[in-house]
Amino acid sequence: MNRAVSDVKNIEATKEKSYKKLINFYRIVVNPSFIESGKTPNNIIRDSLLNVFNKNAIFNLDDVTIEKISMCNDYIFGSICRKSDLDVLTEIKDAKDSKNINNTDIIIENYTYFYLNFNELASSVIKTKKIPSSDSYIKLLIEKNCSLNIEIAPFIKNQSEINSMLANSFSLTFFDNSNNYIGVKQTELYNCEFKELSIKAKLKDKNSKSAKDFVKNLVKVFKNNPDVKSLSASTDSEDIDLLRSSFTKHVSIELSKNYKNDLGKIQHVLEKELQFIIKT
């Protein structure tokens, strides 16, 4: 290969780019459990996970693998990995010579990353469609290694915070038996079977006077409506579930294509954002 071309590819591999990621935030709630005298839920969870990962950096669950990347008495930073086969209509080529790589030799590994603070019993997780419900795996990791009865609950916003949001879009879904669109279903349009009705919309001017009360009015009209299956609103930096009051934050992380060289940056962002949420 031409050396100049090779140098360009090496530069591209190390060149950083800003990736916007979604981060979920959770509290570990300890339900009534037997707790040995002199111990707290915090140090029970910490000591249990220290014991597990001091023996082996990998902990296997049924369909994912959890790996410890760094850990101390205050926290654990790790990855959750799910393996899958390559899609049958996808081809992989060698970046050096563009030759095909046999698909049967390929296994896809999808990753997400989490940070768990033992002192606060709180966690931040990068949200990804490839590994939905990542919080359930953190729950399993803890439950399989200590005797505590726990739940993983999302951090929530209070109603005054929600009402003051300046949203730029919203999404609303009705249950399939909702009277709000039963007339549409009865038309039997094109002989279709309707399952549920979803509405997505963007505000024309999020800085207008009416936009200031938009989320407040959405909540007032739809939150306690039994026909509503889901209701959410988005700002420039957050997505908020208006029924549960939980939220996901949009965060930019500077990463290279060889992102595993940047795990320290991922840890720093997850730790920093979690601390901000805890303090607010």
Which pLDDT score, from 0 to 100, does residue 116 have? 98
Give yes or no for residue 4 having a pLDDT over 50.
Answer: no
Do 51 and 148 lie in a common domain? Answer: yes
Which pLDDT score, from 0 to 100, does residue 157 have? 94
Do 177 and 115 lie in a common domain? Answer: no
Higher pLDDT, 176 or 279: 279
* b/e sequence 134-169, b meaning 16+ C-beta within 10 Å: bbebbbbbbeebbebebebeebbbeeeebbebebbe
Do 61 and 184 lie in a common domain? Answer: no
Give yes or no for residue 187 having a pLDDT over 90.
Answer: no
Do 185 and 124 lie in a common domain? Answer: no
Tokens standing for residue 268 = 């720093």
Residue 9 lies in a domain: no
Do 40 and 136 lie in a common domain? Answer: yes
Residue 65 lies in a domain: yes
Report the number of distinct structural domains present in the chain: 2
Do 150 and 163 lie in a common domain? Answer: no
Q: How far apart are CA 52 and CA 175, in angstroms?
A: 44
Residue 6 lies in a domain: no
DSSP per-residue codes, 231-265: EEEE-SSEEEETTTTEEEEEEEEEE-SSGGGGHHH
Residue 1 lies in a domain: no
Do 36 and 123 lie in a common domain? Answer: yes
Do 178 and 149 lie in a common domain? Answer: no
Q: What is the mean pLDDT of residues 139-168?
A: 94
Which pLDDT score, from 0 to 100, does residue 56 have? 94
Higher pLDDT, 168 or 37: 168
Do 151 and 166 lie in a common domain? Answer: no
DSSP state of 187: T
Residue 250 lies in a domain: no
Q: Which of 4-13, 86-95, 105-114, 150-159 has the lowest mean pLDDT?
A: 4-13
Which pLDDT score, from 0 to 100, does residue 76 have? 98
Which pLDDT score, from 0 to 100, does residue 14 have? 54
Do 227 and 115 lie in a common domain? Answer: no
Residue 8 lies in a domain: no
User: Residue 60 is which amino acid?
Assistant: N
Reported as a pLDDT band with limits 50, 70 and 90, residue 232 is very high
Q: How far apart are CA 260 and CA 265, in angstroms?
A: 10
**Contacts of residue 175, Cβ cutoff 8 Å, sequence gap at least 6:** 196, 227, 228, 229
Residue 7 lies in a domain: no
Percent of the chain scored above 90 by pLDDT? 60
Tell me the residue range of the domain where 185 lies.
159-244
Give yes or no for residue 27 having a pLDDT over 90.
Answer: yes
- 111-126 pLDDT per residue, tens: 999 999 999 999 999 9
Residue 249 lies in a domain: no
Please give the mean pLDDT across all residues of the chain: 87
Do 196 and 267 lie in a common domain? Answer: no
Reported as a pLDDT band with limits 50, 70 and 90, residue 188 is low
Higher pLDDT, 228 or 11: 228
Do 198 and 238 lie in a common domain? Answer: yes
- 60-102 pLDDT per residue, tens: 999 999 999 999 999 999 999 999 887 777 888 877 887 777 7
